[in-house]
Amino acid sequence: MKVCTDLALASPDFLADPYPYFARARSRSAVQWHDGMGMWLTFSYETANAVLRARTLGRIWSPRWPDVPLPAFALIHVNSLLENEPPVHTRLRRLIAGAFSRGHIERLEPRIWALASALADRVADDGANASVIDLISLYAEPLPVQVIAELLGVPQCDWGLLRPWSNAIVKMYEYDVSDEQREAAETASADFVDYLRGMVAERRRALSGDLVSSLIAETDSDGARLTQDELITTCTLLLNAGHEATVNVIGNGVLSFGRYPRQWQRLVTDPDPGLVQTAVEELIRYDSPLQLFERTALADTQIGGVTIRQGEKVAALLGAANRDPAVFADPDDFDIGRPDNPHLGFGAGIHFCVGAPLARVELRTSLRILASRFPALSLADEPPARTEFVIRGLRQLPVSIT
């Protein structure tokens, strides 16, 4: 029997707190059809995990608006690791992972600490002069942008270009996109592509120690290298996926700490170094920064007793999976010491996030610095209403540090 859902994904109540809606849907059926989206949705951990791992479900990129020319936006997706399946995906991931394995993350760790400390100084300065400050603009937002910029070798004078480009591009991943947002995304994509073409050309003339140079130099076993378009796509993916997730985990996480102050005090006072690690995983699970990951059936596929017909789309609802009581005890409790936390926040299967190790380093560093520098950190007011579902984040987060 086909079970349908009428979840209003753009309604203010749903955007504010989708998890009770997920729980009610899950009690009806783990897999349901959404007419408005034209796809199946999963509401349980088991079915989401199956969608992410099934080799008969693939990432098949195609223009959502075939009659609207978006050449730059298309370029940074058609060549993407995220939007391809084997054998293309296998080759791209092997080359990208090879470049990452050259120790970039380990070398960046002290620099991440320095960048986060400098931003914490800004937070302290602003907090000394104002009773309420915005933690997103002062700390959560600039940190991952600066880290990605350093990883790629973007000069500091250009750091301010990256976040606006990413903001415009990721708006396209929502399911309600205006003409103005499409135009802004294409402009941002074109500007970013042009910028990266210049950077790649410069690195080809003189390789350095950054990731772009490593990506240029990386050679597969058969002598294959990344093409220029693949290089550019990989850099945009690192920026968009890499920093958007980290910004939103920090923002969503500090909001959760504000609503559960005992958990914040636990982080501040408990000397166990492992607590920061489990706290990071709980932040990702409790309020997932990416709520939906879409796949297309390459062949008829059974998921949760439902047949996804070839050509149909199915989306793993990661936030719903990460609150499934069949896997997580007391899933609606925010517990930074949660011992068993196999969340799907970084995905699963062959598309598991290649940047997960970097994100974890950033998040652990962020929490350690915030907890040590601002033990009295608290929520000063409720943040502005959320307006987006797929990329779940905050535009502002008013806090007090005294």
DSSP result, 327-358:
TSSSTTS--TT-S-----TT--GGGS-TTHHH
pLDDT tens-digit readout, 378-388: 999 999 999 99
Burial class (CB in 10 A: 0-12, 13-18, 19+), 110: exposed
Q: What are the per-10-residue average pLDDT scores of the chain (402 residues)?
A: 89 96 97 96 98 94 87 92 91 84 80 96 93 96 92 91 91 90 95 94 89 84 81 87 87 97 97 94 97 96 97 97 98 96 96 90 95 96 93 95 92
pLDDT in tens, 209-256: 888 898 888 876 667 788 889 999 998 888 887 778 899 999 999 999
3-class DSSP assignment, residue 303: strand
Helix (H) or strand (E) holding 31: strand 31-34
Kindly give, in sequence order, each residue whose CB lies less than 8 Å from that of residue 55, ignoring residues fewer than 6 positions away: none
Q: Which domain holds residue 205?
A: 4-400
Residue 178 is part of a domain; what is its CATH number?
1.10.630.10
Structural domain count, the chain: 1
pLDDT of residue 220: 65
Alpha helices in 79-178 (DSSP H): 88-100, 104-129, 135, 142-152, 159-170
Chain mean position to CA 110: 23
Other Cβ atoms within 10 Å of 303 Cβ, number: 23
Specify the pLDDT at position 239: 81
pLDDT for 169 equals 92
